[in-house]
Every structure is written in C-alpha cells, then in structure tokens.
C-alpha cells in the first residue's frame, strides 16, 4: 500500500494513477486501455490489485468493462448524484430544529387500482392509508400521505401510528431493498396548503417514493414539503 514505506502500490494508488491518465486524456474517451495483466506488470502489482482498481473506476462510471472486449474509457462519464433518504426526524434535526409529528388520519381502505399497479400488488384487497404532518419547531415541514400494503408489512394494522411515524415503524419492522423516487413541483392547494399553512398556489416540492422488498411493493409515500424546501445530493 501507499502507507507502506516499501513503495509498493495498493489498489487505491492504482485507481488514482488511472484517474490521472483519464483526466490528462492519456486514455481518451472511447479508447481501449491496456489489459489488466499489462498494467499489473507496469505498476508492479498483481492482477487482482489492478482488477480492484479498475472495477472501482467502472462503478464510478469512468470505464466500461466487458469480457474479452477489454476496458474502454466511457465516452461520456454518466454522472450520478446520490440522494440520501433519511428519516424525517433526522432530516429535521439535522437542519437544527425540534422534530414534531402529528397523525392526521388513519383508515383501512379498499386498494385503489392505480396503487395496486404501482406497488405490483395482486390479491391484496385492503391497504392502510395514513395522513400525517411533520413539524419543525412546531411549524409545518412536510405533509405526508402514505399507503402501506399489509402483505409485505405484516402487523401494520396493529401498529400505533399516532405515537410513531410510519417511516420509523417501517424501518424497524420491514426490511426493504429498493426505493424509487420521483420529484416534482406543484402548486399547493386546498387541504395540503392549509396543513402546510401556506398560501394557495405556492410552489411546493412533492416527493413520491415507492419502497419495495424483493420487488414487491411495501409502501407508497407522497410528501409535500413546505415552500422553500431544498433537496440536496450527498457529496461523494
């Protein structure tokens, strides 16, 4: 490793060297870079180490690797930003506020057709619908409307969502695998505007999230944030 006094390189060093060649266009976009074995010889490390380094760069989107075809520099590195999806409580507290939560409504309803479609549910006649408000220092932070499938979240009908937000209950009771997020801007109207204590027609950020467990839908969430809210990607 680099930390060694031996001068031997670790995979992070190899990755850094490769990154430098990419930045300097020594390996220009579209070009095929030397095979692992050759780089291993050049850098004086084993092929595994080169493999680890190039695999990391490929995951970051810089390289495109295919068996036999070799490793190609991506024409245009597909940039990605990652959004963290924290608990509302953490988000509010991280912003320096005191978190508050109020359950507005709770009902067991027949499964809406669109919902069944989005969550990929079949033969689940009834779902739990919740409506809640998240508060920061007592002021509205976000309005939440949520549906939960009892199929993937057993015991959800018995949970006390007046005491604990759905997100917190789900996190501790249902292991989820994938999240799908959709963000849009809408104008606050009617009930949501009233709950958020903002003017009618104000621009608000609406986040819809579908959470799945092994491909089966667990919950659909529609979050209407108070005006002025920002979503930031996590650095890195």
| Interface positions with DNA (CB under 7 A) | 1, 3-4, 8-13, 33, 35-37, 44-49, 51-52, 54-55, 58, 65-71
The residue ranges that bind its own copies (CB under 8 A) are 19, 22-23, 25, 29, 76-87, 171-172, 175-187, 201-206, 211, 213-214, 225, 227-236
Question: At closest approach, how far in Å is the CB of 108 from its own copies?
Answer: 26
Question: At closest approach, how far in Å is the CB of 5 from DNA?
Answer: 9
Residues 223, 144: contact at Cβ < 8 Å? yes
What is the distance of C-alpha 176 from the center of its chain?
A: 12
Token digits for 196?
A: 């958020």
Q: Helix, strand, or coil here: 110? A: strand
Nearer to its own copies, 6 or 184 (CB): 184
CA atoms of 32 and 192, how far apart (whole Å) = 54
Nearer to DNA, 65 or 209 (CB): 65
Candidates 186, 191, 128; CA nearest to 156 is: 128
The CA–CA distances, whole Å, from 92 to 81, 187, 227, 229 equal 22, 23, 15, 11
* R_g (Cα) of the chain, nearest Å: 24
Nearer to its own copies, 75 or 107 (CB): 75
Which of its own copies, DNA, none is residue 216 near (CB under 5 to 8 Å by kind)? none
Which of its own copies, DNA, none is residue 47 near (CB under 5 to 8 Å by kind)? DNA
């Amino acid at each position: 490793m680099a930390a060694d006094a031996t001068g031997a390189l670790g995979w992070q060093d190899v990755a850094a060297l490769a990154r430098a060649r990419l930045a300097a266009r020594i390996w220009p976009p579209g070009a095929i870079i030397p095979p692992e074995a050759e780089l291993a010889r050049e850098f004086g490390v084993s092929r595994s180490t080169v493999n680890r380094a190039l695999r990391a760069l490929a995951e970051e989107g810089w390289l495109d690797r295919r068996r036999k075809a070799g490793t190609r520099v991506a024409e245009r590195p597909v940039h990605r930003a990652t959004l963290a999806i924290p608990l509302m409580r953490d988000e509010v507290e991280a912003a320096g506020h005191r978190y508050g939560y109020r359950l507005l409504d709770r009902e067991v309803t027949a499964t809406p057709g669109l919902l069944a479609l989005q969550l990929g549910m079949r033969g689940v006649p009834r779902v739990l619908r919740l409506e809640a408000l998240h508060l920061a220092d007592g002021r509205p932070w976000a309005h939440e409307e949520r549906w939960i499938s009892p199929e993937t979240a057993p015991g959800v009908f018995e949970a006390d969502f007046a005491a604990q937000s759905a997100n917190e209950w789900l996190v501790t009771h249902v292991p989820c695998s994938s999240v799908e997020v959709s963000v849009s801007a809408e104008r606050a109207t009617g009930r949501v505007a009233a709950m958020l204590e903002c003017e009618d027609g104000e621009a608000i950020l609406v986040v819809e999230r579908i959470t799945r467990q092994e491909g089966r839908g667990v919950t659909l969430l529609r979050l209407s944030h108070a005006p002025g809210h920002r979503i930031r990607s996590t650095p890195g």
